[in-house]
Amino acid sequence: MLGRVTVVRREMTRRWVIVGAGGLVLAAIPAVVGAVPVYPPAAGVATLVARMRASAVQPFQGYAVSSGSAGLPAIPQLGDVADLLNSDTQLRIWYGSSSHWRVDVLGTGTERGTYQLPGQQVVWDFGRNLLTEVDGSAPIRLPQGPDLTPPELARRLLSAAGNDITLAPLPARRVAGVAAAGVRVTPRSEQTTVAYIDVWAEARTGLPLAVEVTGRGAHDPFLVSRFMEVSLAAPDASVLTPPEVHGTMGYTVADSADITGAVTTFRLAPLPFLLAGQARDIEGAPALLGIGTYGTGLAQFLVLPLPRRAGFDVINRITRANGNPLTYPTGRGVQISTPLVSVLAMDAHPARRTYLLAGLVDPKLLKQAAAELSSFTGEP
């Protein structure tokens, strides 16, 4: 049964007033905060990164903003990923532990809260007045707003990068009034579009406070997530309790597998074990769902088999977004690339299948993979 906290509109209005007033105050005091000296941490960068990776045990609460300028077109098969990477996302966060947290994604007159509980998630859509209880854990899903909080984004990027990275210290800075130590994480692979990832964290706990992702050849980051206000105090348990269904509130229950199917159109299909010189990972949830994962670290790319109608829709959308048309003896495709993200949709004639390829990789790598995939007959 869901919790005992009743959410009323007056509380929602008050929260919006607090968020707006907080933004005005923050805009008025940067010079004062910036005048307080910041000293570099005593620990080395390797120790700092290790603390970042282990920071999921640190409770906190705060308000963060994620800003993206990836320039991706809207593709239904990628859900809200384009919106998350192309615009600003306001996040109010209460984090007790990895199994007990809440993130509200705020917009103009809208609010969507995700409550993580042991064994389930509850999503409260204020605009639609709808509460959704999601049982279980989805084996694979698309990125969501809560993934863009500075701690979660930093930990996911560090996990994806693995150990094939170079670390260098950055000048310390203040983030939301907290002294933060900085480290630049540079992937060694030349096949990823990520030039480097800059992370600033509270040195003692390793809690990431700001993340900036910069593509190769770029001077400015294409994805930035940073706290505007933060406290390392644990949130009150009542804040982490989902609202109780009442009055005219809508309510629905979904299985995690239903959520996976609702946001994707992936179909089980044979895929090559090798593409563009990159081996396919045949273990884990993506492989079980028929999704191809090739390469390692940040140079990984995905191959998603699509129903032909959906595949042709993606090809048309990328074409209308000034995608680069590709023609193969046994297929056709279209590619759109930003300095950070590469996306390619294609129709492979021999297998009579359409595919979507995507990753933080060099566009040439995806083109080579698509050329090989175009002649793939569908045999394992």
What domains can be seen in the chain, in order of their start residue?
A: 9-41+53-162+210-259 (2.50.20), 265-374 (3.40.1000)
Tell me the torsion sign for CA atoms 197, 93, 249, 3: positive
Encoded tokens for 190: 């030349």
Alpha carbons 270 and 308: distance in angstroms, whole number:
15
pLDDT at site 86: 66
Who contacts 247 (Cβ-Cβ below 8 Å, separation ≥6)?
none
Per-residue pLDDT tens listing for the chain (380 residues): 444 333 333 333 333 333 333 333 333 333 333 444 444 454 589 999 999 999 999 999 999 999 887 666 666 555 566 566 767 889 999 999 999 999 999 876 678 899 999 988 999 888 788 888 887 665 556 677 889 999 999 999 999 999 999 999 999 999 999 999 999 999 999 999 999 999 999 999 999 999 999 999 888 998 999 999 999 999 999 999 998 888 788 888 875 544 444 334 445 568 899 999 999 988 765 655 678 899 999 999 999 888 888 888 889 988 988 899 999 988 899 998 877 888 999 998 888 889 999 899 999 999 999 999 998 887 65
Strand stretches in the chain, DSSP E: 60-68, 88-97, 100-107, 110-117, 120-125, 130-135, 165-175, 178-187, 194-201, 208-215, 223-231, 250-255, 274-275, 278-279, 292-294, 301-306, 324-328, 331-337, 342-348, 353-359
**Residue entry with tokens 């290790």:** 50
**Contact criterion met (CB below 8 Å) for 100 and 118:** yes
Q: What is the DSSP letter of 240?
A: G
Q: How far is CA 95 from the centre of its chain?
A: 17
Alpha carbons 226 and 296: distance in angstroms, whole number:
27
Alpha carbons 167 and 183: distance in angstroms, whole number:
7
